[in-house]
Structure 1
Amino acid sequence: MLVQLQYLRAIAALMVVYFHSILQVSKVQPDFQTDFYLSGETGVDIFFVLSGFVMWLTTAGREIRPLDFYRRRIQRIVPLYWLATLFAASVALLAPTLLKSTVFDLPHLIASLFFLPWKNPADPTMAVPVVVPGWTLNYEMFFYFVFGLLLLVREKYRIAALFATMTTIILVCRFMPGGMTAAKFYSDPIIYEFLAGVVLAKLYLDKILLPQAVAWPALVVGFSFLLINEALCDASTRAYTWGIPAIVILYSAVSIDFSKLPVIATLNYLGDASYSIYLTHAFTLAFLRIICVHLNIQILTSPPVFIVSCIICSAIGGAIIHELTTPSRWRKWKRKRAVAA
C-alpha cells in the first residue's frame, strides 16, 4: 500500500475525531461557540475518494470473482462493526441515560447490522445507524456491492459502467417518493466521490500524474480549500464543495514520490488503524466526557485541553482495538508464542 494513502487515512480519521470532539464540548458547555472551531467533517470525503482509489488499485489487471471480493470486504468491515453496533445497542438498552444520540430500537438495530439506511429513533431527522459514524459504512457497503457486481464487466468498460450505474441509481431514487429514507440516502451525489477515486486510480496506474513541482502546492491548496469550503458551505453541497478538494488532495498525494522521503512511522501506523479509530472514537469520546463530568475533572473547563485529550485517547483506543481484532496480528502473536515455547 502506498504510504501516502496511509497518511491520508490517518489524517482523515483524526479530522473526524476532532470534529466530534468539538461536539462533545458543546454537550457539557452549551455556551461554547462551536461555529469557529467546528471542522473536520470533510475527513469523510477523503475516506470516500480513498475507498474508490483502493478498490480499483487492488482489482485492476486481476481476475477477481465478485464473491471473493465481497468475502474480503466483509472480513475487513463487518466483524468490528457488528461488535461496536451490538455493544452500543446493549448500552442503549441497559443504561439509556449514558448515550445522547442512540436509543434501543430493534428494527433500527437490524437495519444497522445489515447496512441499511434507517431513521434514527433518537433523532428522526437523521438516517444514521446505531453507531452514528457508521452512516458512512452504509455508503461504503453500497459502493462495494455495486463495484463487486461490475467486476463481471470487462475492465476497459468498468468505469463507464460504474458511472452509468451510479447515475441511474441517483436518478431513480430522485423520482421515488420523497419520504422514503433509502431513496433520499442513495440519491445523494456523494456516491460520485467513490467514482472519482476509481478514476484517480486509473490515472495513477496509467502514470498520468501531476509534476512533482505542481503536486506539492496542489496538496496544500487542496487542504486549504477543503477547510475553507467546510466553513463556508454546508453538507448539502458536499459532493462538489468538499468532494473536489478531497479529489485534489488524493491526486496530489499519489503524484508525489514518497519513496524518497523518510516514513513517518506513527502516521503510517495510525493509517493502518484508521478504521478502528474511526469506528470506536465515538465510544472513547463519550466515555471521556462521562468520566470528566462524574469525577469533576477540570479539563472540561479548558476546551483545547479536552479536545487534545479526546484525539490522543481516540488514537490510542483505536490502536488497541486494531491490535486485538486484526487476524494477522493474532497469527503473528501465536507464531511468536510457538517460537518462544
Structure 2
Amino acid sequence: MTAPPTWTSRIHLDKLTGVRFLAAILVVLFHFTPPVQERMPVVLQNLLSNGFVGVSFFFVLSGFILTYSYATPSGMRGSDRTFWWARFARIYPLYLLALAMKFPVYFVKGEYSSYLDAAIDFLSSVFLVQAWIPTSVGGINPPGWSLSAEAFFYLLFPFILPIIQRTKINFTSIIFALWLASFLPVYLLHSNGIISDETAYYLPLFHLPQFVIGVLFGWVMVSSPTGHFATISKKISSIIALGILIILAFTRMPMSTLNNGILAPLFGILFIGLAQGMSRASWLGSSGMVLLGQASFGIYILQMPVGSWFKYLSGLGSGELNGSQILIYIAVLIIFSILAFKFFEQPLQKLIMRIVKSRSDAEKKGTLAEH
C-alpha cells in the first residue's frame, strides 16, 4: 500500500462533519431514553438500545480524519510534538470544562465509595487514564472514558501511520485481520467470564484495531482516491448506510461485539463514500448540519454534566426524564454545545496553538543563533 506517484489535494469533508452529529445524538439517546423506550416501536427501541455504537463510529472516524488531515506520501505532516499539541488543544479544554461541571454533582451526590476512590477517579480523569482503571472507568463523567482511549490512539498515531504507509500486505487482508481482532477475542474472553464488563467494553487496547481500521481507510482515501477499492466503496456506500441502519434497527448484538468494532469496516466504506460526495447525503453537508457536527464533541462530552444540572434545576434530582423533558434537555444540550464550541472550545484551541507556534518559532530562532 505505498503511495502512488501522484498525490491528490485535500477537500473539505463537510458531510463527515455533519454525520458526527448523528452519531453523538445517538449516544445521548442511548443514555437518556431507556425509561421511555417501552412505549416505542420495537425497531426504534433496538436503534436506541444500540446507540452506544456511536462510540465505535467515532473511533473509526478519528483514524480516518487524522490520516486524511496529516498523511503525506512518505510520512506525517508536521512534527510529532506539534501533532500531539494539536490534539490536546482540540479535546482537552472542553473535556476539562465537562469534568469541572460534573464534579460538584459527583461529589455532593456521593458517587464514590470512599475519599480515596474519589481522588483516584478525579486524578485518572484529569490525566485521561480512567479507561485503564476498571474501578474508575465510569468515574466522574462516564463518556470521558472514550477520550481516555482517544488519547492512547493519538499517542500511537505518529508511529502507526508510517507502518501502514510502508506495508506491502494486501489492504483487504489487513482490514479482515483487524476486524476479527477488534471484537472476536473480546467476545470470547467476555462470554466465558475471563474478563469483566469494564475491561471488555472500555479497555483502550481492545479498541485500537477500530482506530487502525480508520487509519487504513483514510490512507486509501488520500493515496488512491480513484483506485479500485475507493471506487467500489463510493458506489456501494449508500447501500452500506442502509445496511448499518437495518442492523441497528432489527438486531440486538452483544455490547462486546457492537461496541468493539464489528461494524468498523462498514463505517470505513461509508466514510469514503461521504468524503467523495455521496449524492444522497448532500443534506449532511448543509451549513446547519456542519455547525451541529462541529458542536458534536460538546454534545457527546457535555451530555452528563448538562443532564445532571438540567435535572437539578428542574427539581428532578436523581429522577428519570419523561418524553417531553428529554426533548427539552436535548435542545438545551445542543444550544449549550454550540455556544461552548463558538465561545470556549474554538477560541481556546486557537490560543493554545498560537502559544505552541510562538514557542516553536522561538526555539528555531535559538537554534539558528547557536549556529
> TM-score scaled by structure 2?
0.69
Moved more, 139-148 or 204-213: 204-213
Residue number in structure 2 paired with 1:304: 323
Residue number in structure 2 paired with 1:128: 138
Residue number in structure 2 paired with 1:278: 300
Match of residue 199, structure 1, among 216, 234, 241: 216
1:210 alignment partner, SS class: helix
Residue number in structure 2 paired with 1:85: 99
Match of residue 109, structure 1, among 122, 140, 144: 122
Tell me how far 1:53 sits from its aligned partner. 0.2
How far, CA to CA, are the matches of 1:328 and 1:84 in structure 2? 16
CA RMSD of aligned residues (A): 4.3
Tell me how far 1:283 sits from its aligned partner. 1.7
Q: In structure 2, what residue type is equivalent to 1:198?
A: V
Tell me how far 1:224 sits from its aligned partner. 2.2
Matched, 1:236 2:256: yes
Matched, 1:224 2:246: yes
Tell me how far 1:145 sits from its aligned partner. 0.6
Q: In structure 2, what residue type is equivalent to 1:249?
A: L
Residue number in structure 1 paired with 2:58: 47
| CA offset digits 1:229-287 (Å, max 9, x no partner) | 4xx11211123434344334324323434599464221110111111111111122222
How far, CA to CA, are the matches of 1:244 and 1:54 in structure 2? 15
Report % sequence identity: 21
How far, CA to CA, are the matches of 2:309 and 2:67 in structure 1? 38
Residue number in structure 1 paired with 2:354: none
Matches within 5 A, 1:1-341: 1-23=12-34, 25=35, 36=45, 38-61=49-72, 62-93=76-107, 95-96=108-109, 105-116=118-129, 117=131, 119=133, 124=135, 127-150=137-160, 155-157=165-167, 185-186=202-203, 189-205=206-222, 206-207=224-225, 208-210=230-232, 213-229=235-251, 232-238=252-258, 239-257=260-278, 261=282, 263-294=285-316, 300=321, 303-328=322-347
1:9 alignment partner, SS class: helix
Number of aligned residues: 310
Using a 3 Å threshold, how does the CA distance of structure 1 residues 147 and 211 change in structure 2: closer, same or farther? Answer: closer
Q: In structure 2, what residue type is equivalent to 1:282?
A: M
Moved more, 239-248 or 130-139: 239-248
Moved more, 105-114 or 183-192: 183-192
Tell me how far 1:135 sits from its aligned partner. 0.8
Gaps of 5+ in 1: 333-341
Gaps of 5+ in 2: 1-11, 352-371
Q: In structure 2, what residue type is equivalent to 1:143?
A: F
| CA offset digits 1:114-163 (Å, max 9, x no partner) | 1113557xxx4x73332100111111111111113446668434999x99
Q: In structure 1, what residue type is equivalent to 2:218?
A: A
Bigger relative contact order (CA 8 A; separation at least 6)? 2
Using a 3 Å threshold, how does the CA distance of structure 1 residues 74 and 159 change in structure 2: closer, same or farther? Answer: farther
Alpha carbons 2:240, 2:269 under 8 Å: kept:
yes
Tell me how far 1:204 sits from its aligned partner. 1.5
> TM-score scaled by structure 1?
0.74
